Amino acid sequence: MDRFTAFSLAALLTCSLTAPPAVAGAEEVAGRVAVAKVNGKVLYQDQLQPIVKARQKQLSPRGSARPEGEQAVQRRAVEQLIDVELITQQARNLKVADLEAKVDARIAELKQAQPAAFNEMSETELRALLLDEFRVEAYLREQGVAHPVIPEAEIRAFYDQGQESFRREEAVHLRHLTIQLLVNATAEKRAAARETLQRARQRILAGATFESIAEETLRDPDGFQGDLGMLTRRDMPEPIAAAAFVLPPGKPSEVIDTPSGVHLVNVLERQPAGIAPYEEVKDFIRKYLQEGRSRQAYQQLVKGLRQQAEIQLLPGPG
């Protein structure tokens, strides 16, 4: 659900154990720097940390030529923290079926899987955060933000109207057996590796399974085998592609030489070029439409909550 699920609600609502340095002119409450008030609830600078970290992580792989400045990131974080608080306040009015039981089950899971979580906060504090998480999840579902239902007819219409977007290249489902060689391997070593795979190929043609022969060949310290999944020509070296795309399913290739070694491949399935069938892409389309619907619903929800709320920005970051 885009930016509001890039990190857990618990992380947003959990304050750091060590308060950050005070900002000049900012309001301080019990040693913490307040950055905003939402319907009388004070929000603190240390609550921005998980938001800022998530934003920086989101932007860092993009290598943007114009990265956001620290003040801009802080301002965005304050606005996002306000949004989360508005949603949380509304969610607390919602009755959630079996809420206490759900929280009990989650705490039991955490004790088993992440006992270190209880070193950072008490079970009482964690319970309060989990209560909010379950309420917010239910509230966002109720408001059509989380996991909106997309009718099958809408998914089908999207597919029918944009079939060219689902055009795909010819592909093969490939399994391979390789003896890896260094680029400067001697002719003798390459010849010995070829001979090993030639014997493996003959045994497969005689009735042995590709898998059983592959396991035997792996006794060579440089042997490697595996299921490569569905690949297009662009996904593999040209010598392997030249063999794979004319090879009948189930029949081993001739031994193939590449700079990285010698190879034996087996095509498990062929996928012709053309428009992907509806059944193969409908789940992808559903998720795509859900994401768009979620963004719109979230923006409308937050806009309405802000119009009804009393929000005060306090001197602080940015």
DSSP secondary structure letters along 130-163: HHHHHHHHHHHHHTT-SS----HHHHHHHHHHTG
The pLDDT > 70 percentage for the chain reads 83
Alpha helix stretches (DSSP H) within the chain: 9-13, 49-59, 70-91, 99-113, 117-120, 123-142, 152-161, 187-205, 210-217, 238-244, 278-308
Rounded CA separation 278/151 (Å): 15
Handedness of CA 26, 31, 35, 40 (dihedral sign): negative
Name residue 214's amino acid. A
| Predicted confidence (pLDDT) at residue 218 exceeds the cutoff of 70 | no
Name the one residue in this structure whose structure tokens are 């319907």.
39
Name the one residue in this structure whose structure tokens are 């022969």.
213
Average pLDDT, the chain: 84
Confidence of residue 18 (pLDDT cuts 50, 70, 90): very low
Q: What is the pLDDT of residue 215?
A: 75
Q: What is the pLDDT of residue 172?
A: 95
Domains of the chain: 2-139+295-313 (1.10.4030), 170-272 (3.10.50.40)
Q: What is the pLDDT of residue 32?
A: 84
Q: What is the pLDDT of residue 24?
A: 34
| Predicted confidence (pLDDT) at residue 16 exceeds the cutoff of 90 | no
Residue range 149-169: mean pLDDT, rounded:
95
3-state secondary structure of 185: coil
Name the one residue in this structure whose structure tokens are 């955490």.
110
Rounded CA separation 100/96 (Å): 9
Rounded CA separation 201/206 (Å): 9
Q: What confidence tens digit (pLDDT) does each residue in 292-318 have?
A: 999 999 999 999 999 999 999 987 544
User: Residue 107: CB partners within 8 Å, gap ≥ 6?
Assistant: 123, 126, 127, 130
Q: What confidence tens digit (pLDDT) does each residue in 174-210 have?
A: 998 899 898 888 999 999 999 999 999 999 999 888 8
The pLDDT > 90 percentage for the chain reads 59
Q: What confidence tens digit (pLDDT) does each residue in 221-234 have?
A: 566 778 889 999 99
Residue range 22-45: mean pLDDT, rounded:
73
User: Residue 60: CB partners within 8 Å, gap ≥ 6?
Assistant: none
Nearest to 85 by CA among 130, 43, 141: 43
Q: What confidence tens digit (pLDDT) does each residue in 94-122 have?
A: 999 999 999 999 999 999 998 887 888 88
Residue range 50-73: mean pLDDT, rounded:
67
Confidence of residue 15 (pLDDT cuts 50, 70, 90): very low
Residue 315 token pair: 């001197």
Name the one residue in this structure whose structure tokens are 């990265």.
67
Confidence of residue 52 (pLDDT cuts 50, 70, 90): confident
| Predicted confidence (pLDDT) at residue 284 exceeds the cutoff of 80 | yes
Q: Which residue has the higher pLDDT, 148 or 14?
A: 148
pTM of the model: 0.64
Q: What is the pLDDT of residue 222?
A: 62
Residue range 83-91: mean pLDDT, rounded:
94
∠ CA 305-72-70, rounded to 5°: 135
